[in-house]
Structure 1
Amino acid sequence: MVELRHELNINLGLILTHQLDLSLKILSASLIELQEQIDEIVLQNPLIDIDKNYTIAPNNYFESKFKELEQSYKVKFESEEEYDELDFIEQETTFEQKLLQDLILSYDLNQKEIKIAEQIINSIDEKGYLLDYDLDEDSKRIRKLIMNLEPFGIATKNTKEFFHLQNEFFYKNEPFFNKLKEFLDTIFTFGLDIKKLQKINLSNNQVHFFLEKIKAFRPYPLYGYIKSSQEDFLYYDIEIKQIGNEFIPIVNDEFSNKLIVNETLIKQIKDEDFLKEKLKEIKVLHDAINMRHQTLLKIANIVIQKQRLFFEKGLLQPLSMSSVAILIGYSVSTISRALSNKYILFKSKIYPFKIFFSNESKEGISKHRILEIIKTAIAQEDASNPLDDESLRQILIKHNINVTRRAVVKYRQELKIPKAKDRKSEFI
């Protein structure tokens, strides 16, 4: 068992032949991670080059060579003003907090379910596996929801369950799905025992075939993920530009637009099979990048539609990932994956994509909006006479948000802001 996992860790690599696998990796990647993935692929495919002197892509270049995005999504506007990439920095949250936030935004959970989810998330180890297996029926149901978030497979019990989950995700509709399922059961029980594998009627060629398939699997859920949320630089993925009364989303395709096809080398290659394989890899890469751009644009258009008040007046409205998933026709896990570590540039400020997603509070207002008002009010208060909870409630009422004092206490505590008397003592 240990020997098998060791072998998989050594041999695991980027498998370009599996289009879905590459598409998901590119979709969930931040812009910096996307550049790293492209650099790695360029090293493996001599037919792709990076134009280091790139400024603006030649007209119609990728339409003929790389089938680039539709022209409607390629419109560029000169920036009207300089922006500071660090002008907006999200309050630092832990990996566990982000995971819980994604779950709450993705599914309609009650307080009991949120508490269960929090316990499960806090029981995840460094590799992404769940430490405590003793779960009741409610906990098992919540765990399945967590497993479908990004990173995919988080909170699985062990490598065996994680590999079975990946088999179901990638190969459920393939004719070899059930046989691969048997193969996984056998090797996780007996290791690579040829006699045992022969008992389930697998030839040496089939064994080799299945080993190649599972090499594309991630060895553990948090493989390639860092729990720290701190970043040195923020790169926006979508710019939202205001043109008259309209808000237009534009993909930041700086890194992918640097790709060019090495036409000289293509003419020199005599091996047709090699040439076809490498050209196919170019198409797979293009389709994966195109899928990433189109998905982000679809989500951005919905955000613009549902959060128009924010772009006009700075007022956020309730919006859940599940509602966006329904509108686009994607799964919630795909939306979560698409929004992971993505940022929007709007009027010289960079915002985390997920800031536009907030469940509706009991008061019918975006919870994020309520928290922002409380946080702003306390930041501007008189240190010698800080605002008590009733004063904060009155401020919210002035914003047409009618809340109870108890609700104010809950929101203040969620922001980890002490009581008024404790804040006063801190400034004396």
Structure 2
Amino acid sequence: MGALRQTQGVETKHKLSNTLRNWLPILHSSLSDLGEAMTPFVEANPVIEVKSGYEEDFEKRIPKKIISRGVSNSRTEQIEALTIQHKSLYDVLDEQIGAPLFPTPISQEIASFVIANLDEQGYYDGDTEVFCQEHDINIQNFEKIRLRFLHVDPVGIGAKDLAESFLFQLDNANISDKAYSLAVEIINDIQNIHAYSKEESFSEVMHVIATFKNPPNIEYQEDSAQIVPDLMIYFNDEQQIEVKLNDAYYPIINIDTSYGVEHEFVTQKIKEAKSLVDALDMRKATLYKVGLMIVEYQYEFFTGGQIMPLTLKTLADEFGHNPSTISRAIANKYIACDRGVLAMKEFFTTAIDEDVSNAAIKEYLIGLVKQESRAKPLSDMKLLDLIQEKFKVKMVRRTIAKYRKQLNIAGSSERKKLYQLGL
């Protein structure tokens, strides 16, 4: 009897370890990368058939309450944008490599080189000299062809810097001849923009420049990575908050049992397939529980308040895991709610003190910048004073500078220039 108990214990432990071994990479991957995380298990198992969760429209799976309950247009557009498969910037550009802009093989090769050497903002950052030496052409001819990106959509792509990007866009703008000449001067001397403020066409130039895209690839920056939320949190018709798992987006695993189960190999593969199914179920259960905990601790946020201090240790204690495991588990996971699509990690903040989270500080900082004087933007020291006064905490200027950079907010002098451009 003792031997039997021991055998059963070993079998149970073996099954659990198999599931956990599958579970960790599946839990740590984002929902959009889940299929890729499963690939090693699927390719090694002939009894597994997988149907992609991407075959249905994600839009149908978003509860209407997320979109309808007091959401601003910009937030709604962000959520709806997740439901549409857009072409990437490189797909759009590749389609334009050909006649009439690039009719010859060398012009197409140069265009391809420019596209391949765009930086993260859409500016050309390639080594022109090396390319010209390898292809035995001079730099002037290279530049003539690169400048044809003036006619490529999105306009401004392929320029070397902000000024050239604005000049590209200026040539495609609806502007009077007189204002056009002044605009060229201003763009080439952007640092001294004040010197042109008394010019007759200055207001027209500023109006036109304010419509320019900066950076030139701004329309495609959010498309660089497909964001698929694991959870939807919303208020139902009874105004009760609900947590809905985005389980319809999961790959569907079918186990083919038509093979002869008398074969040991097939039996083992069926066990491994069931272990993979168990791993997916564990992922769903884990993230659903995370969602419930987020609602419990951050209820005020979902009703319009601020994110409260919540450490990963609190969550880890609930699950009986190490905080580092939980940190990896919530990485690249997102929640869709009526305040937008947010990364899970944003709900787990470091507390500045017992009652104030750094998320609350950042939210207040954003509000200060939105309301600041455009003629005299707030310096980091002034922001520091206002934040310390508001939250009754002690901080240092470099922390404000760090938060500002994390929020993609320019320094006060740079913001002043952008305000003068109407951006």
TM-score, with structure 1 as normaliser: 0.50
CA contact (8 A) 1:316 1:368 kept: yes
Are 1:46 and 2:36 matched, yes or no? no
CA separation of 1:373/1:18 partners in 2, compared to 1, >3 Å: closer, same or farther? same
- 1:290 has 2:275 as partner: no
Instruction: Please show how residues 399-410 of structure 1 align to structure 2 within 5 Å.
Output: 401-403=391-393, 407=396, 410=399
3-state DSSP of counterpart to 2:303: helix
Tell me the CA shift for residue 369 of structure 1.
1.2
Q: In structure 2, what is the equivalent of residue 28 of structure 1?
A: 28
Q: Does 1:316 align with 2:310?
A: no
Residue equivalent to 1:60: none
| CA shift in 2, pair 1:276/1:19, >3 Å | same
2:265 maps to: 274
Kept in 2: contact 1:325–1:332 (CA 8 A):
yes
Q: 1:397 to 1:245 in 2, by over 3 A?
A: farther
Partner Cα distance (1:33, 1:354) in 2: 18
Residue 342 of structure 1 corresponds to 333
Choose from 386, 393, 400 the match for 1:411: 400
Closer/same/farther in 2, CA of residues 268 and 21 from structure 1, 3 Å limit:
closer
Shift of 1:426: 6.1
Q: Tell me by how many angstroms 1:411 deviates.
A: 2.0
Superposition RMSD in Å: 3.7
SS of equivalent residue, structure 1 residue 46? coil
Q: 1:369 aligns with which of 360, 364, 367?
A: 360
| 1:325 to 2:319 alignment | no
Is the 8 Å Cα contact of residues 377 and 412 (structure 2) preserved in structure 1?
yes
Offset at residue 234 of structure 1 (A) = 0.6
Could you say if the C-alpha distance between residues 84 and 272 of structure 1 is closer, same or farther in structure 2, counting changes exceeding 3 Å?
Answer: farther
- Partner-residue secondary structure (3-state), 1:269: coil
Aligned residue in 2 for 1:246: 240
Superposition deviation, residue 410 in structure 1: 3.2
Distance 1:351 1:80, change over 3 A: same
Inter-partner Cα distance in structure 1 for 2:38 and 2:248:
12
Measure, in 1, the Cα distance between the counterparts of 2:356 and 2:81.
23
Preserved CA contact (<8 Å) 2:259 2:266: no
CA distance in structure 1 between the partners assigned to 2:264 and 2:17 by the alignment: 15
CA contact (8 A) 1:298 1:328 kept: no
What's the secondary structure of 1:49's corresponding residue? strand
Shift of 1:43: 3.3
Deviation at 1:379, TM superposition (A): 3.5
Contact persistence 2:26–2:38 (CA under 8 A): no
Question: Match of 2:306, SS?
Answer: coil
Mean Cα deviation higher: 313-322 or 247-256: 247-256
> Structure 1, residues 281-314: CA drift from partner, whole Å, max 9, x if none?
1221012111211111222111111111111114
Shift, 1:348, TM fit: 6.9
Among 339, 345, 353, the residue aligned to 1:354 = 345
Residue correspondence of structure 1 range 48-67 to structure 2 within 5 A: 48-51=48-51
Contact conserved, 1:84 with 1:348, CA < 8 A, in 2?
A: no
Aligned pairs for 1:204-215 within 5 A? none
Cα pair 1:374 1:412 within 8 Å, conserved: no
Checking the alignment, whether the CA contact within 8 Å between 1:88 and 1:351 is kept in structure 2 is: no
> Residue 378 of structure 2 aligns with which residue?
387
Alignment-mate amino acid for residue 27 of structure 2 = L
Q: How much does 1:371 deviate?
A: 1.4
Q: Which has the higher helix share?
A: 2
Does the Cα contact within 8 Å between 1:363 and 1:401 map onto a contact in 2? no
CA distance 1:362–1:46, change in 2 (3 Å): same
SS for the counterpart of 2:342 is strand
Aligned length: 250
Q: CA deviation at 1:315?
A: 0.8
Gaps of 5+ in 2: 1-15, 68-75, 83-221
Partner residue in 2 for 1:97: none
| Corresponding residue of 1:235 | 228
3-state DSSP of counterpart to 2:34 = helix
State the shift of 1:385 in Å.
1.9
Q: What amino acid is aligned across from residue 360 of structure 1 in structure 2?
A: A
Q: Which residue in 1 is equivalent to 2:133?
A: none
Once residues 379 and 37 of structure 1 are traced to their aligned partners in structure 2, the CA distance between those partners, rounded to angstroms, is 41
- Quote the residue 2:294 is aligned against: 303
Distance 2:280 2:223 in 1: 26
Deviation at 1:397, TM superposition (A): 7.7
Distance (Å, rounded) in 1 between the aligned partners of 2:254 and 2:25:
21
Cα pair 1:54 1:258 within 8 Å, conserved: no
- Give, in whole Å, the separation in 1 of the partners of 2:63 and 2:330: 26
* Residues 201-244 of structure 1: CA deviation (Å, up to 9, x unaligned): xxxxxxxxxxxxxxxxxxxxxxxxxxxx9952111111113233
Q: Name the SS for the 2:352 alignment partner.
A: coil
Shift of 1:46: 2.8
* Residues 253 and 40 (structure 1), Cα distance of their counterparts in 2 relative to 1, 3 Å cut: farther
Q: How does 1:148-187 map to 2 (within 5 A)?
A: none
SS at match of 1:260: strand
CA contact 1:31–1:237 (8 Å) conserved in 2:
yes
Query: 1:288 and 1:319 mapped to 2: Cα distance?
Result: 27
Q: 1:377 to 1:31 in 2, by over 3 A?
A: same
Residues 319/357 of structure 1: CA separation in 2 closer, same or farther (3 Å cut): same
Q: 3-state SS of the aligned residue for 2:308?
A: coil
* Counterpart-to-counterpart distance in 1, 2:416 and 2:63: 48
The amino acid of 2:29's aligned partner reads A
